[in-house]
Structure 1
Amino acid sequence: MAAVSGEARAGVLKTPHGEVETPTFMPVGTRGSVRGLSPAELRAAGAGVVLGNTYHLYLRPGTGVIREAGGLHAFTGWDGPMLTDSGGYQVFSLSRIRRLSEEGVEFTSVYDGSVHSFTPELVTKAQEEIGADIAMVLDECPPADAPYDYHADSMRRTARWAARCKAVHDRRDQALFGIVQGGLFADLRAESLRRTVETGFDGYAIGGLSVGESREEMLEVLGGVAPELPEEKPRYFMGIGDPIGVLQVIALGVDMFDCVLPTRLARHGAALTSRGKINLKNARYRTDFEPLEEGCPCEACSGYSRAYLAHLVREGELLGARLLSLHNVTFLGRLCSEARQHIVCGDYESWMSHRIELYASGEARGVLE
């Protein structure tokens, strides 16, 4: 660990495809691409790790195609570190078209209605075949409002699945991360943490949050889990991408996090700035000739005005969504870089409080609620 400030950590994630300074935001490339952005643009935006989704890549184009292409890096053209999730979130989000058992999960393809079965063994081997630097164990992510007994059964099944994943994982150039589950229940989280750490993994994720609970509940659970994970191993919070949330989870000891939020916002005409999210569909931006964010090096800020970007958004031009995606990913990358600097300086908490206050204050010229 390079430095700590309170619970916040600055470190280096080492992978076969390069090193990444943490904390780091990881853009999501569900089907092998971050929507609208090329690998070169992602690199320019400061992205360190890019995510792929095992569920979608398994269905299309298929792990065999990716293997024949030379692995996910060669197939996508991204030469930096990659992480593939296991499909556990799809187990949660597609609950109406899946069936759980001790063996695994049977589901209906969202593409053609065909029936498939994911077991811990199959998912692990699929990720080995895909060839990402970091693979995730198969887990179940229950809704936040599920009853205690459901969370208990689900968490213990996830722990058994995790042990099966580790038992068959033998690709030595690929890290395997375990996932702590247990919903909002402190005793279940503590049991999941103990069982997952006892199994032993290359890194640890905190799952089952950002699925409907309040921000206060999320932070309370995270604050009880993250500091108890092995200090020398990376800590990954699954599914957060709003700037305030990013700063808050860093403060609790998280190193890595991902979310589709920056590119999804961009496709809806919204941009992240240090003073809040702005909606470029708002009429006030028609004649605003300032950049989105003063000092931002991205192409959207260095080459175009808010007025022009607002015009692209109103007209539905693809360039608008692409430029805003590039800006939003760059914004989060720069935020993480600044966070790291202040962790190293030892004043993360005071800097974070200032940044959150500034962001939450909104911008006088149109803020998205």
Structure 2
Amino acid sequence: MTSDPFRLLCLPGDGIGPEVTQAALAVLEAVAPALDRPIDITHELAGGACYEVHGVFLRNETAQQAHEVDAILFGAEGGVGWDNLDIPGGPTARSSLSRLRKELDLFANIRPVRSWPLAIAQTPFRPEVVAEADLLVVRENTSGIYFGEPRGIFDREGEARAIDTQSYTRAEIDRCAHMAFALADKRKGKVTSADKANVMESGVLWRERLEAVHKEYWAHVTLEHLYADACLFDLVCHPGRFDVIVADNLFGDLISDCAAAISGSLGLLPSASLGPLKADGRRAALFEPVHGSAPDIAGRGIANPIAAILSVAMMLQLSFQRSDLAAKIENSVERVLSGTRITPDLGGDASTLDVADNIVADIDGWMSTL
């Protein structure tokens, strides 16, 4: 091992976040001996858990730590007591996750979606429709309508008017396009860009820039354009036709959540949010399960930990550059999913700890042969 540790900031957050994060860290600990450097983990509060103690969803000190570490492992945030608080300042003031995305410039949110044999029965699809589904959704993560200005609810001559601004620059679109093409280049070589260029000026620029980046840098990758509504229609009818879907913040949000139904449970879906490359070749990175805090089952020990565990696999692939270990973890997950010890969201009665222990046991098996 090198003497320079990999610095990981762990933000378990709210609801089931701490439970699934504990499971994910157990997996990381299981594979740690195969890594070429030690891991230094710092735990901090975020989300409602932080608000209850400090009156903010993310402390400035924690935000500064986020700039200094190699990666962040995030659990979940939100709950009934905090989601509807009247706090000025937009999403970065009301959400630790939004603040981290914006301040770290985590412009590309990457969500892999695949079918899992056991989970197909939990989907609303016929098995033959989703059996071959294996795609990535790349969502622009730091601009667009969620962060545009002006925004707010205003009183105009006694009439309430709500304003949200959809805004994109050429550079913001280009870097997201490059990320999508680079990912597709290592997969099946196809990018589907989703927009609403027929009714939105931002969509016109989005489509123009995807074409320009494609022509100059990635002509060997196939590019197609779909209107976002048509993309959603095709996604539920023919999910196997997609490889990488790229979209702006709003449409990417909708498309990635719709795609989640293909897997059969939000508890199976990991994600990564990546920043631009730095001079030293590293990039800011945050890894988290797609699911929310699920306060209705928090503390009951029945949350599915697999999305958080697969988020660790994405960390190994994208931050440690160990795609081999990431693939082995995915194989362990698939073997455990093929058994009977599964959580209630997949039709079983296993606990969070049961599933995590079974995956760690499988990992220990192949780790002993390395």
Of structures 1 and 2, the one scoring higher in RCO (CA 8 A, sep 6+) is 2
